[in-house]
Structure 1
């Protein structure tokens, strides 16, 4: 697909779009890894959009609670935007906890080019990394239905890639995602 870049009056190749869906506990490294991947892809000349879970909650899903139904609605909204972007040649990156396996599988079914990346990080490491103090508050019972503490997180059964951010650098993790894109024909 070709795109006219009106600012410099040239035509650039966009390439094939794909949705990269990062899932994992709060503090696992989803936002960090997705930002590095986005920078690497932009350096390769690709159009990339990152939909960070916290940002989307503020702008697209304001007013939703953290009930299972509202969490699923939030994930479906992110998935809808990713589907629109990726079908138009953009690499759409979602960095959202998306705790429920069935909702992620629904997205995989509805988005033709979909890669699920499991950011697998032990709960104890996520707690240690927690700069916002959310886990401490959840463990005290101050935050009800907190994923990984008082609400479940269902890890993917067959992710396209599993990243262990407790045992590899963020740069190495991001490079593994880029390599997967090459292997699957998106780059």
Structure 2
């Protein structure tokens, strides 16, 4: 039976040490899927580090403005850290919207074993999910602030560049996060 909720674009596995960038709109399920993937990696004794760009952004830019320059600064710092961790044999998970694709592009240029997972979710569902977030590492009320014209973000005021060649495209409306994480884990050595 063909699983239409997961579209495998590349028939490859990432070799260790790898860096995996999980992308999608805010509220698509990237963080939830990443946390489920961490559970699988822990259960299988896979050395890894989970880099949440929302946490990194809060540290580097405590009052984010989400300008292109600020976003690219955060992406560069994250790719630098991921590459250093890979050099010491540590696998890395990054979850970030990266709406323009600059971080993903840099990751491909710098990191030998780099792959992307695209989490697909309609904007309306992302907006609905944001209202129920309990994780405060996220910037509060992103979509509400975008609707009020206070900021621009991917999907609202800024175009989101969908990953053209992800390892896999996951539909978060059709899969639970744990199932999505299992699909991703199958692509990792």
TM-score bucket (shorter structure): 0.7 to 0.9
Query: 2:144 corresponds to which residue?
Result: 136
Asked whether the equivalents of residues 16 and 113 of structure 2 are also in contact (C-alpha less than 8 Å), the reply is no
Query: 1:20 corresponds to which residue?
Result: 20
If the length of structure 2 is used for normalisation, what is the TM-score? Answer: 0.82
State the Cα deviation string for residues 111-134 of structure 1 (Å, max 9, x = none): 001110111111111011113432
**What is the Cα deviation at residue 101 of structure 1?**
2.2
Aligned CA-pair RMSD = 1.7
**What is the Cα deviation at residue 63 of structure 1?**
5.7
Equivalent residue of 1:180, what SS?
A: coil
Call closer, same or farther: CA 1:135–1:165 in 2, change over 3 Å.
Answer: same
Query: 1:148 corresponds to which residue?
Result: 155
Q: Extract unaligned runs of 5+ from structure 1.
A: 1-14
2: CA distance between counterparts of 1:162 and 1:56? 25
If the length of structure 1 is used for normalisation, what is the TM-score? Answer: 0.83
Q: Extract unaligned runs of 5+ from structure 2.
A: 1-14, 132-139
Moved more, 40-49 or 100-109: 100-109
Query: 1:87 corresponds to which residue?
Result: 87
Correspondences of 1:1-187 after superposition (within 5 Å) = 16-62=16-62, 65-131=65-131, 132-141=140-149, 143-181=150-188, 186=189
Which structure has the larger Rg? 1
How many residues align? The count is 167
